[in-house]
Amino acid sequence: MPETTNGQAEPGLSPENAEVIQLTRKDFVSDQEVRWCPGCGDYSILAQTQKQMPDFGVPKENIVFISGIGCSGRLPYYMNTYGFHTIHGRAPTLATGLKAARPELMVWVITGDGDALSIGGNHVLHSMRRNVDITMVMFNNRIYGLTKGQASPTSEFGKKTKSTPAGTVDTPIMPLTVALAAEASFVARSVDTHTEHLQQTLQRAGLHHGSTFVEVLQNCNIFNDGAWRDFTDREVREDRMLVLEHGQPMIFGKDRDKGIRLRGLHPEVVTIGENGVTEADLLVHDEQAEEPYLALMLSRMFWPDFPVPVGVLRAVPRPTHDQLIEQQITAAVSASGAGDLAAVLASGETWTVE
């Protein structure tokens, strides 16, 4: 079978009759009315996803979007592809089973900070460690939006919400740190309003083979408006965000005069040209590092102590879950033959019930 641009095989096509698939964003827009609150960041994520899908060159019938519960869970309805709107936190579970049974499909998991990191936390961990070949996009607005404003696993410590009127006493989860600890082979972050960067990040994610985790910082203008505004607004983002580029020094700032260097085991912000600091002193980003030490450090950096890193933190090749399963099946058949299910059921100790 020929391969598409993301390495997925296209079933039913042979080299002699394969044609270039030419699709546009309109091909991925469903006939369903988009129903989110006006001004919600979900609209932007949906738009950038639809814009990117044609670039993968995958037939719509070979693409599946799977979601859990929450505002993000509606996205499969708005994609003109196959999809599942599953139960709370279980989208990674269904995606794992689907990829095992139909490895040629391109599978996206759409989830939120509550859906993924609370009831779905265990499922996220295992799909990542197994390197299931799925693209998981987590909308993070630091709140439970669908159920009207309760504290979520990423809500700030002390945040007052309907479920925590005196302020939450729970330490917030750092999603990228969790994904890296679970051995995800691709980890990235973007922002709903940074549309070009979000498109680029989704493209990189869709092209990766293996467990892919993308955190999108997203605004809920009804129940947690301005959750990320301190560093994502156009007026301040150049000074308060660090755009990661593989092989490039970590430089940021409107005047491109700030950087990150390592002091002992800890990162620090420095000004180029002050106290003898030069570009050569700065950390160079390496998303392909075999060990995730650098990526883990970046995942812990956050405003106001540090600029917030966005982009790809880690992208490393590893055998995928479905590839390893197929290898085991092939080895078993080679050693013992194709097998006979009826014979297996009738073998060993049997009973006849009269």
**Residue 11 clears pLDDT 70, i.e. is over it:** no
Domains identified in the chain and CATH numbers: 25-227+316-345 (3.40.50.970)
Spatial separation of the C-alpha atoms in residues 345 and 332, rounded to whole Å:
18
pLDDT at 6 (0 to 100): 43
Q: Which residue has the tokens 């560093």?
A: 231
pLDDT tens digits, 245-266: 999 999 999 999 999 999 999 9
pLDDT at 229 (0 to 100): 96
Spatial separation of the C-alpha atoms in residues 28 and 34, rounded to whole Å:
13
| Extended beta strands in 6-92, E state | 63-67, 82-85
Where would I find the H helices in the chain? 42-52, 75-78, 91-101, 113-114, 121-129, 175-181, 195-207, 229-232, 237-240, 293-300, 321-336, 341-345
Q: Mean pLDDT across the stretch 153-162? A: 93
Q: In terms of pTM, does the model score above 0.95?
A: no
